[in-house]
Every structure is written in C-alpha cells, then in structure tokens.
Amino acid sequence: MTAVTQTAPRPAVAKRRRRDLRSRVLTPYAMLLPGIVLFLAFMAAPILYTVVLSLQTVKVEGLGLGPDSRSVVFAGLENYANSLADPEFGASVLRVFLYGLIVIPLMLGFALLFALLLDSKRSRATRFSRVAIFLPYAVPAVISSLLWGFLYLPSVSPFVFLANLLNVPVPNVLGPNLVMFAVANIAIWGGVGFNMIVIYTSLRAIPSDIYEAARIDGATEVQIAWRIKIPIVIPSLIMTALFSIIATLQVFAEPTTLRPLTNSLSTSWTPLMKVYRDAFTRNDIYSAAATSVLIAVGTFVLSFLFLRVVQRRAFGQED
C-alpha cells in the first residue's frame, strides 16, 4: 500500500494458466458462497420483500373489529403515488438536502484540515490529537445524541450557563431556526474523526521524497498541501463524500433521539423518520415500504450521478 509508483499486480495473470471450467468458475463461486447466501438471505430477500409490500395495502370493512374484517390487497403503485404526493415527504427530502449541504462540506473540510495537520511535520501533539478526534466514532449515535441533547437544553447547558454569567443572550439551538444545525453538529462530531483517518491513511501512503523535492525548491507546507497532498487524496475524498452522501440521506438516529426534547422536530423530519413513523407508529408498513423503496432508489441515483460526475475515478482501476 506504500508504493504509489508500482502498478498493482493484475488478476489477469491468473489467466496464463489454462484451467478447466470447474476450477475456473466453480471454485470462485464456491468460495463466494457464504457471502452470496448471506447477501441473498439478509439483504436481497428483505429488499424484494419490501418491494412486494410496497405494492400492497390493507383494506378494512365496516368497523374493522371483527376477526375477518381486514384483508391485504394488491394496490399497484398507489402507495408510491401517495408517497410522492405527500407534502411531508417532499419537505423531508428538501430538509435532508439542506442538512447535507451543511454536514458534508463542513465534515469533510474539517476532516481534510485535521488530516493535513496530522500529516504536517510541523504540528505537535499529533498522536494524542488523532486518537481524541477519532474517539467520537466509538460513541453510538443514540448515545452521542443523548450527550449533545443534554449540552443543548437551555436549562442544563453549560454554554447557556456561561453566557448567562457573562450576560450574553444565547439563541436556543433547539429552536426552529437552529435545530438543523444542532442535528448537523452531532453528525459532524461523530463523522469528522473517521473521515480524517481515511484521508490521513492515504496521505501516509505518499512517499515523503515526493515533497522533499518540493521543500528543497522552497515550497511552504501550505503550498505542498495544496499542490501535492490534496490532489493525491482526491480519490479518498471522493469516496468519503460518496459514503457521506449515503449516510446523510439515511439520517435517523440523531433527530429521533433529540425529538422528545423540542417542539422543532416533527415525526417526519427526515425521510427515514417518516418511514419509521408510518411503519411503527401508524402501523402502515405498506406505504412505509413504498417510501423506503423511493429512498433507496433516490440514494442509488444520487450516488450513481455523483460517481458519474467525478468520472468514476475511484472505481476505474480494473476495467
């Protein structure tokens, strides 16, 4: 992983030996079997089942209290039409886009900045910093939201306490205007460290003689960072951006945990919260399934477009 200049050994070498069909096709598939079986059982089947559910709905007769008053019927695309026409769904999608516009640039920006600082020979306390900044990754979202929730609540927040001492007015971060930042902050807090490590890893893979030469030419650390380091870690940045986009569209745990603390988060604040509410609170898993499928397709399209835009740099190596 350290040699950048050396090209990766190509699997095509295996072709040199002519082998029979059995070992050429059956062996790899036999070895892939555990992965494929698990994938089919716990990902493909549930996904397909979701699709089946999304095409159904429940019909009730009369009061709906007798034993046979409830039946599952085929609904066609009705659930999809309802989902798309639901203003709550549209609002939640829009909200998530805004949320992503806050989270992704800030999170990746800080991650890149910290990674560069860690990599810089002029920084001190790097070992400690690396561990400390990475630490939040160990904290489950449910627990980190709980911790930040306590720090946000005006009556228990240390920030409000200090601000009151100094007689500075503080806005309520859980109020309707700022609540998105409050949620975004938790995501950034939890994600900066992980993305920093990803970028830092690819920075460490660069042989140092590449910038020794630049240093001799009188380039500053900042110039080295901009001209050499950042272009080299672009593929890593693309991948972290892609995974951040996916994670953003799936934001769920943070706002759900914060919701009981404030009037500003509705039960359909993000698309997945709406899915959860429809499936569990409203007991309508059929429309929840349709919304899930829409989210999954949306995620796929967006990731695909993103990779297209960045010229499939990250996946280009083996075709």
Partner 1 sequence: MRIAFKAGALAAVAALALTTAACSSPASTGDTDGASSDSGPVNLTYWAWAPNMDKVVDIWNKSHPDITVTVNKQDGGDAAVTKLLTAIKAGSGAPDLMQAEYQKIPTLVSAGALKDLSKLGAASTKSDFTAGAWNAVTLGSSAIYAVPQDTGPMMFYYRKDVFKKLGLKAPATWDDYAKAAEVIHKADPTQYLGTFSSGDPGWFAGLTQQAGASWWSISGQSWGVDIDSAASKKVASYWGGLVQKGVIDNDPMYTPAWNAALNDGKQVGWISAVWGPGVLAGNAGKTKGDWAAATLPQWTAGANANGNWGGSSTAVTAQSEHPQQAMQFIKWLNTDPTAVKALAQIANIYPADVHATDSALTTAPDFFSDQSDFYQVAAKASAAVQPFTYGPNVNVAYSAYTDAFAKAAQAKQQSQFLSALSSMQSTTTSDLKKSGFSVK
Partner 2 sequence: MATIATTPVLPATTRTRRGHAERPSAFGTAILLLGVVYCLLPVVWVVMASTKNGSELFSTFTFAPSTHLLDNIVELTQYRGGLFWLWMLNTAIYAGVGALVSSLVSALSGYVLAKFDFPGKGVVFGILLMGVLVPSVILAIPQYFLLAQIGLTNTYWSVLLPQLISPYGIYLARIYAAAAIPTDVVEAARTEGAGELTTFFRIAIPMMAPGLVTIFLFQFVAIWNNFLLPYIMLGDDHLFPITVGLSGLLNQGATVPALYTLVITGALLSIVPLIILFLALQRFWRVDLAAGAVKA
- Judged by CB under 8 A, does residue 93 bind partner 2? no
59-78 residues in contact with partner 2 (CB under 8 A) are none
Contact partner at residue 60 from partner 1, partner 2, none, CB < 5 to 8 Å by partner kind: partner 1
Q: Using the rule CB under 8 A, give the single segment among 14-22, 24-32, 60-68, 116-124 that binds partner 1.
A: 60-68
- Measured from the Cβ of residue 47, the count of other Cβ atoms closer than 10 Å reads 13
Contact, 56 vs 74, CB < 8 A? yes
Helices of type H across 120-178: 126-134, 141-152, 158-165
Candidate residues 34, 35, 67, 87; the one interacting with partner 1 per rule CB under 8 A: 67
Q: How far is Cα 228 from Cα 207, in angstroms, rounded to an integer?
A: 11
- Judged by CB under 8 A, does residue 229 bind partner 1? no
Q: What is the DSSP string of 65-93?
A: -STTSEEEEE-TTHHHHHHHH-HHHHHHH
Q: Using the rule CB under 8 A, give the single segment among 94-102, 103-111, 221-229, 278-286 that binds partner 1.
A: 278-286
- Judged by CB under 8 A, does residue 243 bind partner 2? yes
Candidate residues 9, 34, 35, 62; the one interacting with partner 1 per rule CB under 8 A: 62
Nearer to partner 2 among residue 11 and residue 62 (C-beta): 11
For the CB of residue 111, give the shortest distance to partner 1 in the complex, in Å: 24
Q: How far is Cα 15 from Cα 38, in angstroms, rounded to an integer?
A: 29
- Judged by CB under 8 A, does residue 263 bind partner 1? yes
Closest CA to 249 of 303, 305, 316: 303
- Judged by CB under 8 A, does residue 25 bind partner 2? yes
Give, in degrees to the nearest 5, the angle at Cα 41 between 38 and 47. 120
Q: Are strands 70-74 and 56-60 parallel, antiparallel or unpaired?
A: antiparallel
For the CB of residue 97, give the shortest distance to partner 2 in the complex, in Å: 16
For the CB of residue 308, give the shortest distance to partner 1 in the complex, in Å: 9
